[in-house]
Amino acid sequence: MSMPLSGAALDAAITQSIATLKATFGDQAPEVAVVLGSGWAGAVDQLQDQQHLAYAALPAFPQPKVEGHVAEVTVGRVGQQRVAMLRGRAHTYETGDCTGMAGAIRSLKAWGVKLLLLTNASGSLRSHQPPGSLMMISDHINAPQRSPLTGLPGSDRFTDMSTAYDRELRQQALKVAQIHNLALNEGVYVWAVGPQFETPAEIRMFSAWGADAVGMSTVPETILARHAGLRVGGLALITNMAAGMSDEALTHALTLQQAKVSGDRAAAFLGHLLASLATLESLKA
């Protein structure tokens, strides 16, 4: 994967990407966009009246090389709610650069998207949250303390992160889970760069910090989205117990296997949540 664009080159790529999004899907953007992480790919089947656009046609978007990711934007409806689904993301471990999703997120904002819902596969740090569980992210810990806003000019780079994950969306998700008799935890997500999995000592440290799940994505995207002025939600599918919490050796294949086992249930819940967002007047304002 090539290094992400920056500066004038990124601005030009965003301008071109916005024009292509509008030409393909219309000037009126969906209010909601979803980044589909590992285990969430099946959510695209929830969309009616689908339209597709490859990332290759969008110069501001990344070209993911990770197994389980498809480089495509799919737009459609879930009930009355129009949604854009991003099928693939850039990870910091691919290039060492944490700005890989900057162009995509800024393009979505400029197109007119209001809410970005980030999904991922995570390891659990809590025994009450076994593989197959779903966790709504209430807050995060940026363990490496790296920011995709580093080097940007202007005072808006000092972005407020005190309510990074939208409270109204979290409340809505809990309501939907209750209606559908689904256990949905809320918890703190800690970002580790990867690509290696964490050590048991690191997991003990993260647990002591108050983290409930660990993964290799989401946090840079949340920072970028909040800087852009987007509302943000986060959903984690628990695919394994973190290092030292079970006798199982951690592999990417294990993550994908558990994601496949639990993916249908995760995708169904995501569909219910997205359909319910059509009732939120705050998204229409």
Active site positions, annotated: 38, 69, 91, 93-94, 121, 216-217, 240, 252
Residues sharing a CB contact under 8 Å with residue 268, sequence separation 6 or more, in sequence order: 46
Residues written for the chain: 285
Contact 15, 108 (CB under 8 A): no
- Euclidean distance between CA atoms 147 and 223, whole angstroms: 8
**Whole-number CA gyration radius for the chain:** 18
- Euclidean distance between CA atoms 91 and 102, whole angstroms: 12
- Euclidean distance between CA atoms 63 and 244, whole angstroms: 33
Lookup: tokens for 107: 């393009």
Lookup: tokens for 174: 């809990």
- Euclidean distance between CA atoms 186 and 139, whole angstroms: 9
CB atoms within 10 A of CB 253: 9
Contact 172, 125 (CB under 8 A): no
CB atoms within 10 A of CB 48: 10
Contact 89, 70 (CB under 8 A): no
Measured CA distances, 252 to 68, 123, 197, 215 (Å)? 10, 11, 9, 12
